[in-house]
C-alpha cells in the first residue's frame, strides 16, 4: 500500500509489479486530499469515532460495575442478553434500524452513525471480567470511608481498569474509524460521509483505477490507527496479563 501510494500511474500498471518507486511521488497525497471535501470527511470521522467511544464508556462502565459487584434480580438473564448482542452480526439489524432512523428523519445527519453503537457488548464483557478480579476489600475499605457508590466506581474502579479501557477504546476506534458498510447504508450526501467513503469515492470520481491516489488516501486513513495503537499498546498488554488471557 505504501509503495503503490508513492508510484506513478504508469508504475502501478507495470508487469511485473514495481515494489520500489523510481521516484517517490509525494504529490499523490496532495491529490488524494484535494480530490474532494477531504476535510469534511476527516471531521466527520473524528466526530463519529470519538462520540461513539465517549458514549460507550458512559454506558459500559456502570453496566460492567453492576454485573461484576452487585447481585440483583434478573442479573444472569440480562448478562446473557449482553452475550447474545456480542455474538450477533450487525448486518442482522441494519434494516430495522435504517427504517427507524428514516422515520425519525435522521438519515441526513451524523446521528445514525453514532446512536446504534451507544453500547458495546464486548466492552461490557471484558470490563466486567476485569472488575471481578479487583478485590472486594478495596471496595469495602472505600465504603467504610463513606465513599458513595458513584465515587467508588469513577474514582477507584475506573482508574484501576485503565488497561482494559485502553484495549476497548482501541478496538472501538479501529472498528468505527474503518467502518464502511454502516456509513454507506446510512448516508446520502458528502456532508455526513466519513473518510472511508471519501477514499472509496476517489476511484469513482476519477473514472479509472488510479490506484496510486487511492492508496495514498488509504495511507492517510491508516495513520491515526497506528498512532492510537502506539499510545495504547502498553496498556493492552497489561490488560491481558492482568486478566489472565495472555
Query: Which grid cell sits at 172?
Result: 472501538
SS3 call for 108? coil
Do residues 232 and 51 lie in contact, with contact meaning Cβ atoms separated by under 8 Å? no
Burial (CB < 10 A; 0-12, 13-18, 19+), residue 76, is: exposed
What pTM does this model have?
Answer: 0.84
| Amino acid 246: pLDDT | 43
| Amino acid 6: pLDDT | 85
Report the alpha-carbon distance of residue 121 to residue 176 in Å, rounded. 15
- Mean pLDDT, the chain, whole residue set: 85
Do residues 224 and 21 lie in contact, with contact meaning Cβ atoms separated by under 8 Å? no
- How confident is the model over 126-162, as pLDDT tens digits? 899 889 988 888 888 988 888 888 999 998 889 888 8
Cis peptide before 16 (omega within 30 of 0): yes
Amino acid at each position: 500500500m505504501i509503495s503503490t501510494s508513492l508510484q506513478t500511474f504508469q508504475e502501478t500498471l507495470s508487469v511485473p509489479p514495481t515494489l520500489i518507486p523510481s521516484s517517490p511521488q509525494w504529490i499523490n497525497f496532495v491529490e488524494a486530499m484535494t480530490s474532494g471535501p477531504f476535510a469534511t470527511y476527516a471531521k466527520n470521522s473524528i466526530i463519529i469515532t470519538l462520540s461513539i467511544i465517549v458514549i460507550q464508556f458512559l454506558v459500559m462502565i456502570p453496566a460492567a460495575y453492576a454485573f461484576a459487584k452487585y447481585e440483583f434480580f434478573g442479573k444472569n438473564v440480562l448478562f446473557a442478553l449482553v452475550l447474545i448482542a456480542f455474538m450477533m452480526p450487525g448486518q442482522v439489524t441494519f434494516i430495522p434500524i435504517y427504517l427507524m432512523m428514516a422515520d425519525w428523519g435522521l438519515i441526513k445527519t451524523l446521528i445514525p452513525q453514532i446512536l446504534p453503537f451507544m453500547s458495546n457488548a464486548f466492552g461490557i464483557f471484558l470490563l466486567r471480567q476485569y472488575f471481578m478480579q479487583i478485590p472486594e476489600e478495596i471496595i469495602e475499605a472505600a465504603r467504610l470511608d463513606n465513599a458513595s457508590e458513584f465515587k467508588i466506581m469513577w474514582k477507584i474502579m475506573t482508574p484501576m481498569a485503565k488497561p482494559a479501557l485502553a484495549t476497548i477504546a482501541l478496538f472501538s476506534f479501529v472498528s468505527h474509524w474503518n467502518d464502511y458498510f454502516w456509513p454507506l447504508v446510512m448516508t446520502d450526501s458528502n456532508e455526513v460521509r466519513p473518510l472511508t467513503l471519501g477514499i472509496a469515492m476517489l476511484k469513482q470520481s476519477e473514472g479509472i483505477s488510479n490506484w496510486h491516489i487511492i492508496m495514498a488516501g488509504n495511507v492517510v486513513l491508516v495513520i491515526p490507527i497506528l498512532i492510537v495503537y502506539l499510545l495504547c499498546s502498553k496498556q493492552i498488554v497489561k490488560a491481558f496479563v492482568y486478566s489472565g488471557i495472555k
